[in-house]
């Protein structure tokens, strides 16, 4: 069970094609798929840009609609909950805003992940593209949307400037970790979502609950002796490694270890599943 693509350059070296049979395994083909996907960055980056352009064609402010809705949500919650929780709006508003922006990136990425391959079924069935390119396209598209939301972040940080600390340098690896997790989720959920069509509603229900369970508009400290509930929530860890440095405080001690473990385990498991199921995706979508 193998599809062997032989490049023109290698042709002369191949006296007997059938001799190659034993060399292709699931894993080598999955690796080749990912390598080819990376090489096609010019394709999926443009397609991602095109996706956003198409989604907002005919609208005046385009993807800044999302920025606007996030801004309104953050402003309302920031003011309302600072009264409800009786906290200082100057520290609470930036806390909520950053939490919401990161949450929005995570939740839209995960929601769309169920349809990584289903949404592009026509392309999967008509053109031979590496499956990884669809994953990269989805992640890149959501990163572009995130960039539109960063405008709000700048506004908030200018109004309420945080103290400068060394931890702010960890924002770069934190984004890298976030992207890596988005990629394996988009791939794994994309395969499951192609096979099991009731995955999108299951996932979106879960996310709705998780929004309230995760410390986004409330602080983990307010849990008191139940702090562990927030601390070992991977979604909190994901938000925390971005939010805390931006607010000028160190992230929770558990956040980085959780995120690194999740990245490692997620990537390894997804690669194994991807290698096993890659050939079936075209049949499922």
Partner 1 sequence: MSFLRLRNVSIHFPIYQGGSRSLKKAIMASTSRGNLARDAAERIVVRALDGVDLDIESGDRLALIGPNGSSKSTLLKTLAGIYEPTSGDLYSEGRISALLDSSVGMNPDATGRENIYLRGMFMGIHPSDMTKYIEEISAFTELGHYLDMPVRTYSAGMRISLSFGISTCTSPDILLMDEWLAAGDAHFLEKAQARLESLFRTSSLMVLASHSLPLLERWCNRAILMYQGHIMAQGTVRDVWSEYKQTFAAPETPDKQTASSQ
- CB closer to partner 1, 46 vs 83: 46
Residues contacting residue 43 through CB under 8 Å, at least 6 positions apart: 129, 133
* Least distance (Å) between residue 125 CB and partner 1: 6
Say how far apart CA 252 and CA 274 lie, in whole Å: 33
Maximum C-alpha span of the chain: 78
- CB closer to partner 1, 246 vs 277: 277
DSSP 40-58: THHHHHHHHHHHHHHHTTT
3-state SS, residue 261: helix
* Least distance (Å) between residue 16 CB and partner 1: 11
Could you tell me if 236 and 215 are in contact, meaning their C-beta atoms sit under 8 angstroms apart? Answer: yes
3-state SS, residue 66: helix
* Least distance (Å) between residue 41 CB and partner 1: 11
* Least distance (Å) between residue 233 CB and partner 1: 23
- CB closer to partner 1, 204 vs 222: 204
* Residue 134: C-alpha distances to residues 55, 119, 130, 265 (Å): 17, 10, 8, 22
- CB closer to partner 1, 127 vs 164: 127
- CA-closest candidate to residue 247, choices 102, 38, 71, 75: 102
* Least distance (Å) between residue 138 CB and partner 1: 17
Residues contacting residue 210 through CB under 8 Å, at least 6 positions apart: 235
Binding positions for partner 1, rule: CB under 8 A: 1-8, 11, 17-18, 20-21, 42-43, 46-47, 50, 54, 57, 122-129, 192, 195-199, 202, 278-280, 282-284
- CB closer to partner 1, 21 vs 83: 21
- CB closer to partner 1, 1 vs 158: 1
Say how far apart CA 40 and CA 206 lie, in whole Å: 33
* Least distance (Å) between residue 18 CB and partner 1: 7
């Amino acid at each position: 069970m193998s599809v062997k693509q032989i490049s023109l350059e290698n042709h002369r070296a191949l006296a007997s094609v059938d001799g190659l049979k034993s060399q292709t395994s699931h894993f080598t083909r999955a690796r080749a798929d990912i390598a080819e996907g990376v090489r096609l960055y010019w394709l999926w980056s443009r397609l991602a840009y095109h996706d956003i352009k198409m989604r907002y064609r005919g609208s005046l402010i385009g993807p800044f609609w999302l920025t606007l809705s996030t801004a309104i949500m953050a402003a309302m919650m920031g003011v309302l909950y600072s009264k409800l929780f009786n906290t200082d709006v100057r520290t609470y508003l930036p806390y909520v805003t950053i939490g919401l922006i990161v949450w929005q990136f995570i939740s839209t990425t995960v929601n769309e992940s169920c349809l990584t391959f289903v949404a592009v079924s026509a392309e999967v069935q008509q053109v031979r593209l590496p499956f990884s390119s669809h994953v990269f396209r989805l992640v890149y598209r959501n990163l572009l949307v995130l960039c539109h939301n960063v405008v709000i972040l700048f506004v908030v940080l200018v109004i309420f400037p945080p103290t400068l600390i060394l931890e702010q340098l960890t924002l770069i690896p934190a984004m890298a970790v976030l992207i890596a997790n988005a990629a394996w989720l988009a791939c794994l959920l994309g395969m499951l979502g192609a096979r099991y069509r009731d995955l999108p509603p299951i996932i979106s229900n879960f996310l709705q609950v998780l929004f309230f369970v995760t410390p986004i508009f409330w602080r983990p400290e307010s849990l008191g002796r139940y702090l562990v509930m927030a601390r070992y929530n991977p979604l909190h860890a994901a938000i925390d490694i971005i939010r805390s440095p931006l607010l000028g405080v160190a992230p929770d001690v558990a956040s980085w270890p959780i995120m690194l473990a999740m990245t490692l385990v997620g990537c390894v498991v997804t690669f194994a599943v991807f290698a096993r199921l890659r050939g079936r995706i075209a049949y499922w979508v």
